[in-house]
Amino acid sequence: METWVFFTLAAAAMQTLRFVLQKLLRGAGLSTGGATFARFLFAAPIACAIAAATLAATDQALPLPSARFWGFVLLGGAAQIVATFLTVALFALRNFAVGVAFTKTETVQVALFSAVVLGEPVSAFGWGAIGVGLVGVLFLSRNPEAGARFFGRPALYGILAGGLFGISAVGYRGATLELLPLGFFPRAILALAAATVAQSVAMSAWLAWREPGELGRVLARWRRTALVGLTGVLGSLGWFAAFSLQNAAYVRAVGQVEIVFTLLASAFFFRERLRLREALGIALVVGSLMLIVFALG
C-alpha cells in the first residue's frame, strides 16, 4: 500500500469517529457552533506540540513561511470551519450516514479546484469514477418524505459543505507545497499547526461575539470535547500527510471510504437503519472509490 493511501484511510477512520463524538456533543447541551469549536480548540496545542517535537527530532530549523503559505492556510482553515459547521448542523436534519454522504460531492468539486488553483488535473478515467460517486450522492440526496422536493435543505447543506471541504483540501495541499523542500511529515504537521491555531482564534472570537457563554460550556465539558480535539487532530494529520504526497483530488476521492466507516457508525452507535435507495447510493459511492483506486494503480 502506498504511503499516502495509508494516511488517507487512517484519516477517514478518525474523521468518522470525530463526527460521532460531535453528534453526541449536540445532545450534551452544546450549540452547533460549540460542537464545531470543540473540533479546533484542543487540536491546536496538540498539533503545535507534535510540530515542535518533529522539528526537534529531525534537527530542522523552523522555516520562514511565505505569504502564499499563509494565504493557503487561511483559505483552507476558513473553508473547513464553515464546512464543519454545516456538517454538524446537517446531523439534526437527516440520518447520520446519509448526512455525511451528502458532503461527498466534494470529490467533484475538489478535482475542479485542484486543476484550476494548483494545476493538478484528474485523468478522464478518474473523472468517470468520480461521476459514479456523484450519481450515488444524488440517490442519497432525495428527501424520503412523500412529495418532497428532490433537493431540499439537507442536500444544500451537504453540497455546500462538500464544496468548502474541497476548497479546504486544495488550500492545505497548496500550503504543504509551499514548505518544500522539507520532508512530507514536517510539511504536514507545520501546516496543520498553523491552520488549527488560526481556526481556534477565529472560532473563539466568533463565539464570544455571537454566542456568549458557549466558550464556557465547551470548556466545562472538556472531558468530552478534548476527545473531539484529539480525534480531529489525528484525522487532520492523516489528511495533511496525504496532501503533502499526492494530488488533493485523488486523496479526497480515496477518502470516500469514510462512507463505509460512517455506515458502520450509524448502525452501531445510533441504531439508524438505511432505506434500500440509500444503500444503493452508498454502494455507488463505494464503487466509485474502487474505480479511482484502480485508475491510480
Which of 132, 137, 128, 67 shows the shortest CA–CA distance to 102? 137
pLDDT tens for 14-47 read 888 877 776 666 556 677 777 778 777 888 899 9
Report pLDDT for 49.
Answer: 93
Q: Which domain holds residue 61?
A: 3-296
- For residue 172, pLDDT over 90 is answered with yes
Question: Residues 253, 294: contact at Cβ < 8 Å?
Answer: no
More confident residue, 234 or 224: 234
Question: Residues 232, 274: contact at Cβ < 8 Å?
Answer: no
pLDDT tens for 131-152 read 887 787 667 655 544 444 445 6
- The mean per-residue pLDDT over the stretch 186-210 comes to 93
- For residue 12, pLDDT over 80 is answered with yes
Instruction: Indicate the pTM of the whole model.
Output: 0.82
Report pLDDT for 222.
Answer: 79
pLDDT tens for 69-114 read 999 999 999 998 888 778 777 767 655 556 666 776 788 888 888 9
Report pLDDT for 141.
Answer: 58
Report pLDDT for 148.
Answer: 43
- For residue 228, pLDDT over 80 is answered with no
Report pLDDT for 76.
Answer: 95
More confident residue, 198 or 253: 198
Please name the residue that has the C-alpha cell 428532490. Answer: 150
Q: How many domains does the chain have?
A: 1
